[in-house]
Structure 1
Amino acid sequence: MNKKSRYSISFLLPAMLIFIIFFIIPMLMSLFFSMTVWNFDNYTFVGLDNFKMFLTERSLNIGIRNTLMYAVVTSGAKVVLAFFIAVFLTGKIHTKNLIRSIVFFPNLVSTVAIGLTFTALMHPTKGVFNQVIAFFGGKGPNWLGNVDLALFSVAAVDIWKGISIATVIYIAGIASIDKTYYEAAAIDGAGRWQELRSITMPLCLPAMNSVIILSFIGGLRSFDLIWSMTGGGPGFATDVMASIIYKEYAAGYYGLSTAGNVIMFFLIGFFAFPLQRFLLSKEEKLE
């Protein structure tokens, strides 16, 4: 090994050690303990029984369905709504700085605080939302108590909170577009919609890809907002992978909760990596 190679390895070694200690070793330990029934004193090896239980027991595997549904709904809404908000805020409006501050405000507030606030706002009888509906002669639903509506109610709050970061990313992407493209389009007589479709959307693709990946992975990992608003209820209606793992761990089923963590890790990887490769391939074609 020559001097240059040793010099390069000396820079890589600290990062490799950190990666091995804080990622590889914990991952291997989690994989092992997911195949055991363990506590803080001893363990019993049970093979794949924890995984079988997690995937066959309805009260557990419902979290996989809810997690995917929640991630698709929240990420899809953030990608679309944040884009049009960013387009509006990069236009020629006098109060755009003030509006940008208002849009970004939800991100400054604690997720748990937002969850508790919206839980009060969505109360079936005393909540502001239903009182407003009642004022106009209607009857508001039980936002968080209806098993068919609760997950989407929490998702709506997640969209309201998360749209701020997505909008900032989009604004950065749109602001980086060379203005000469728009000037050339204006000379050719292109309208606003044509500029949006042919210039803004294609050249904003890297920012859009970032929003898709971040919001989708964030949806798959979501826990704090759901837990603060519903605790996974009513029944199992809003239970996602993270909340089920927490419940199993709190109940003392450490091996089962560890198996849930492993399933969640592979679930995120199974969807996130192909999605990222697909989006990057689209981006490379554009270049």
Structure 2
Amino acid sequence: MHRPPISVVIPCKDEEHHLAACVQSVLGWADEILIADSGSTDKTLAIAHDFCTAHPRLCRLIQREFISFGSFKGWAVNQCRHDWVLVLDADERMTPALRREIDKVLSKSDCPDAFLVGFDHYYLGYRIRHGAWNHKVVRLFRKSVANYDAGAIHEKVVVSTGRVGILQGRLEHWTCTCLDRWYQKKNRYSTVGALEKWKRGKRARLWDLTLRPITAFVKSFIVKMGFLDGMGGFLVAVDNAVTTFQTYLKLWAIAHPRTAELTRGSSAAENDAFAHLPKRSDVTFDTGIGADSSSRVELAHS
């Protein structure tokens, strides 16, 4: 029995340094490739058009403004022709071993409806297999019974049948190959994370700004055994601590607009998403993730 056809979804924004390698890792294996863009301003769209021109029956470019990670990926999944969907971020790569494993497990008539996949992360050239990033997530699933929820950053796939298997193969995740690009991305994500926490009623206190970053480091480097990755594990633990501090600092800034400003803003759709925030005078948010990265969430003085 041959495996059923698979659609691959690649969500992206400003991924000119990664997109081509990601697409090439599934060429000749995937039955459909959807490049889902949320407003790229670099060469990402040109690269996507080149693939669509070279492989018109295989590759498609779809575009929509960004609202949240979960809603964007869920929308992209719904555009797929096939029931089985594999979601790859643009900085991830399929491996030959994982391709063979997927072909084998999907050829079975009684296989689960979704599969958890692990990662080999690469941070500044170091391979990371432990620490806070040592987890598996659902990336391969049947869209008829599963799709993304509406989470803003840590989105997840909800499988209605609960039938989830585990793949032994891993995806390659080239998470940080350039510090400038990495921290631009982390800055945007920490803004979205702070806004999402505010929406849920969370507020930043002194211990959030002091103890949470320390806890993030200890969890990644000690509890999750990041020390087994040596210097790479140490750098990732520090990175997690810095991002934790950055997120809670921005959350604190929302409530203290006269002493701080967020300057990494949002799309028009995000303006609607955060329209219920209290009115303030000095704080703007620019996440740069959506299609209109020049627009902002502005909290006008009440």
User: TM-score scaled to structure 1, two decimals?
Assistant: 0.27
Q: Which has the higher strand share?
A: 2
Relative contact order: is structure 1 or structure 2 higher (C-alpha 8 Å, sep ≥ 6)?
A: 1
Q: Which has the higher helix share?
A: 1
